[in-house]
A = this chain, B = another copy of it.
Amino acid sequence: MSQGLNVSILGGGSAYTPGLIHGFINRSQDVPLSRLVLMDIDESKLDTVGYVVRHMLQDAMPQCKLELTTDRDQAIRNMDFIICQIRVGGLQSRHIDESIPIKHGVIGQETTGPGGFAMALRTIPVMVEIAAEIQEKNPRAWLINYTNPSGLVAEAITKTSEIRHISICDEPMVLQESLGAFLNVPPEQLFFDYFGLNHLAWARRVYLQGVDILPQLRDTLEHTPLDKIEGLFGEEVLRDRKVRTELRNTLRIFKETGMLPSPYLQYYWFTDEILEQQIRSGRTRAQEVIQMEQEILAEYRKVAAGERPFETLRGGEWHADMMVGMLGAIANDTREVFIVNTPNHGALPELPFNKIVEVPALVDARGAHPLAMGKMPVEVRGLIQAVAAYEELTVEAVLNGCYDTALTALSCHPLVPSRKVAKNILDDYIAAHGESLAYLK
């Protein structure tokens, strides 16, 4: 790769972008960039973030040409990789997604439950459009999708398009990196025997040098105070209450079951206490994130204005490691193992053959080759199959623009207590989201 890659980022005005660029800079030896296009519909954020990125590239990757644009066409043509991290409707829409279920006594969460359902209804049409545009204008490009709900988006793209595409989520990598940090071993030395759906997956066993370390980890945790455990995950964990709770809940589940779940399992496992906390708090996660984003952007602006030194910026590293690593594995054909969202093809024989599943895969220039993970433990099989059916119906509802199928889909979600509640939530979403859900007939 003498020349460097042409890479674009859809949703490039995100506060996470500098973190991602940091990742490219760290690996500029094996994943060099010759052209970087940041595309966003929010010009103000694009300018702020663009300034920071330009500054970052100046010293570290001077040969890389930076372009800022609001024109998607420019971010699609001639690209080798199109990274998509858009958030359709922005964080305001997320707030709607999260707040409505709570009114109906149901968990309000970005990707799990009704919130993820609404996000899918809003996001899939746009993603399907982007995939079609790539197929038309630049069919040899790779779309690396990071936009949530990742599994549902991947399913819709796979059903409607022939483009080269992998959908990822940094959560499994967060798990791997956290565990590596905790065990004080390089995370890439851990092999995850991992299976499920995006945000509903488990590490059944984790091998280090061929030995499953989970039993011993479970023993250790029995005798370790939670504070000490948290400390090992670093400052960031301690600062953000949501992340800290997530960690605590995940460890509680692990202690009981011996398997290491996705942190999102907490919403199924501790449904009542989390719901109670959400009702009590009176504030959605979206609102917290809006504030966090504003703080970060404000800091960016200070840096841009020369009021603060550049070096203070940080964050989004795991996201970057996963994204740049994956991109490098494709570009350099290096056959590395990543946990990705990919068509099943027998990897999990108890789920439909063409369902998108989240499993370890070998990634190379050809894309993702999933590993055959065999049968799932019966204690999680039913939940996974139930959510798989919900997902299948949700994608069908969007692609057919069908209200009844959407209602059926939401009724099928394990966190929704009844058809009536499903209808109330769906109708409230349609009223609140306006134009973006008007396609449901």
A binding-site residues for B, Cβ under 8 Å = 189, 191, 207, 209-211, 253, 256-257, 268-273, 330, 333, 335, 337, 344-349, 353, 360, 362, 364-367, 369-375, 378-379, 381-383, 385-390, 392-393, 396, 408, 411-412, 414, 417-421
Contacts and interface: CB of A to CB of B under 8 A. Distances in A.
Contacts of A209: 333, 365
9 contacts: A210-B364, A269-B419, A270-B418, A272-B418, A272-B420, A349-B353, A378-B389, A382-B385, A386-B414
B273 A366 contact: no
Complex copy number for this chain = 4
B386 A382 contact: yes
Q: Which of A207, A210, A364, A421 has the most CB of B within 10 A?
A: A210
Given A372-B347, A389-B378, A210 B270 contact: no
A250 to B, nearest CB: 13
A420 B270 contact: yes
Nearest to A392: B378
Contacts of A411: 269
B271 A417 contact: yes
Nearest to A369: B371
Contacts of A269: 411, 418-419
A185 to B, nearest CB: 11
Contacts of A373: 345-346
Contact of A370 (B366, B372, B375, B420): B372
Given A346-B346, A346-B372, A383-B412, 15 more contacts: A189-B333, A209-B365, A268-B418, A272-B417, A344-B372, A346-B348, A346-B349, A346-B374, A346-B375, A369-B371, A370-B371, A371-B372, A379-B389, A382-B412, A414-B414
